[in-house]
Structure 1
Amino acid sequence: MVIKVFLATSSGSTAIKKKQQDVLGFLEALKIDFAQLDIACNEENRMWMRENVPEEKKPENGIPLPPQIFNNESYCGDYDTFFDAKEDNDVYTFLGLPAPPGSKKRRSALEESQEVEGEEERDEGDQPVSEEEEELRQLEEEQEEDE
């Protein structure tokens, strides 16, 4: 799988440059393989990107701005959806990639499965109790025995 990031190397917009750098820097930090495809200098890249961004994801003027992110031919999203996935620690899902061992999403899923397994193994009478609850239970048992 190849992550494709469509960008404009000669963009005059500071905002676009910053967004492109954010995406590229984050992918590099995660050591995710990706290809940079320039739409400013390559007409084929520009046309391919414009044709493959889904209609419902295009802005009102119909021309999607970089960065646009794809996994091979599958559209992942633009900068805003990438940013949301990054904030939710869900970048691997956004990119359509499996999360590596030790990632936050994988760790939390593993922790949840361990918690569920632990709950399944416990009986109702085997619930963990605090020391105070245990002392109260013992007092009640002693009172019942005295009666």
Structure 2
Amino acid sequence: MPIFIYYSSITATTSLAKHQEYIFNRLDGKKIEYQLVDLAQDSKLKDEMRSKIGNPDAKIPQIFNGDHYCGGYEDFEQAVECEMIEKFLKLDSDQQKK
């Protein structure tokens, strides 16, 4: 299943931009393929993301493996620190990498 990252190409704060870039850089470094879902392109995507998570106040970035919710920035950062990105992303050994 593909990894989806809900994010925004238009960010109001530098911290949000840095959080998104952190995720992209770590995934690129591990050669893990992902698809970006840009909430700036369609406001309905925010509702879709929040519905999938089950949290009407969820903020971006949020990460999914297909329809399976993995977590947000803080969860991802913790997985990086623990060297458990693949487990966090629910990747199996047969899943494609770039």
- TM-score, normalised to structure 2, is 0.88
Distance of 1:80 and 1:27 partners within structure 2? 15
Task: Show the counterpart of 2:38.
Answer: 38
One-letter amino acid matched to 1:77:
G
Higher percent of residues as helix? 1
The percentage of counterpart residues that share the same residue type is 29
Preserved CA contact (<8 Å) 1:93 1:99: no
Higher strand share: 2
TM-score (normalised: structure 1): 0.60
Query: Which structure 2 residue ranges, 5 or more long, are not aligned?
Result: none
* Partners of 1:81 and 1:54 in 2: CA distance: 16
Corresponding residue of 2:63 = 69
- Aligned partners of 2:10 and 2:44: how far apart in 1? 16
Equivalents in 2 of 1:48, 1:54: separation in Å?
Answer: 10
1:58-113 deviation per Cα after TM superposition (whole angstroms, max 9, x unaligned): xxxx421111000000000000000001100000000000258xxxxxxxxxxxxx
Give, in whole Å, the separation in 2 of the partners of 1:99 and 1:91. 13
Equivalent position of 1:143 in the other structure: none
**Is 1:91 matched with 2:85?**
yes
More divergent stretch after superposition (68-77 vs 7-16): 7-16
State how far apart, in whole Å, the 2-side matches of 1:8 and 1:25 are. 16
Q: After TM superposition, what 4+ stretches of structure 1 lie above 6 angstroms from structure 2?
A: none
Report the 3-state secondary structure (helix = DSSP H, G, I; strand = E; otherwise coil) of the residue aligned with 2:25.
Answer: helix
Total equivalences in the alignment: 94
